[in-house]
Structure 1
């Protein structure tokens, strides 16, 4: 099911390149609303330029941030004041998963790069009792609802790009320079697999081609 022609999609890509904005950072404040006001240890998986890790550090005693890309991790380290309790590490989120337990685990636009069920099992294992897992992910559009939400996001995306850049062409922010890939799993597949590993997980489709997952360790 195609909503827009290739010509229109190319025009939108040119617009987004001229007025870029970080769709993932758009959800950072929402993520913080799912978390306690203070917590001891946090882990941010796929930390990129460190924007979310720095926000977590305002509430946490210690934050560990891991990413497989050494270039973006080095940039994150440079952007982070030395007083912040954040440790950035280049690591594979599965093979080199940093041992917990963590009171908070976050994962934004990263889990579609990983073996999904295996990653969730790692999060489950290393989340402390009473801890909170928050994921913002990407899924492959399949159902009419998926395509309709994607169509609604297109004018909203353009409006956000214009407003965030105050109508002036801008360079891409550092947070948008990390490698990307398309999602393979549909939202329905994600829900089914997630609830098999994390009973009671709360999942929702979101605007701007994202979904969210929140789970609390009993």
Structure 2
């Protein structure tokens, strides 16, 4: 990996480690949903031999393919694509709020996860509670610090703002659709869901 790529930072890259640290021992396959510029897929490729990135934006996929070799790139909608398989790791960074039907998307991502595998979702939502706004305030401080000490990199993927669901709505849906899911509210206007599919 080039030094320039190693030094890139933004709110999404900041949380890639939540995915890479969750890769189960013995995992051989991974799916990066809404892969965008493919940076997470590239990091997963260093850990597992079989990595697929899927996105509905052909332009960002072309850039990802040029920069990250050894990955299967698919221009399609994860909600309707027939992969014909499951994956030991399913990851989604800042994509869930793009998929419209949040509950359906959570069920779909869970169904794509192999028994014994892990699903990790890092997403954006709307702040509605005092606790949410406290996290947001800390996020402002954290953003300013990292922006001054890292090389801020603006991704080229489309954005949706504001997110259509609140943090409490996402947490409630995930708890119902993915029994046993672990929830964590993050700074930098993010949350994390980690779900291990039973064997």
Q: Where do 1:1-218 residues align within 5 Å?
A: 21-81=9-69, 84=70, 86-114=71-99, 115-165=101-151, 172-173=153-154, 176-182=155-161, 183-218=163-198
2:28 is paired with a residue whose SS is strand
Distance 1:23 1:99 in 2: 32
Aligned residue pairs: how many?
189
Runs of 4+ in structure 1 deviating by more than 3 angstroms, as ranges, are: none
Return the index of the structure with the highest Cα Rg.
1
Q: TM-score with structure 1 length normalisation?
A: 0.82
Gaps of 5+ in 2: 1-7
1:72 is paired with a residue whose SS is helix
Distance 2:179 2:10 in 1: 31
User: Aligned in 2, Cα 1:112/1:106: closer, same or farther, shift over 3 Å?
Assistant: same
Gaps of 5+ in 1: 1-19
Q: Does the 8 Å contact 1:91/1:97 carry over to 2?
A: no
1:37 positional shift = 4.5
1:98 positional shift = 2.6
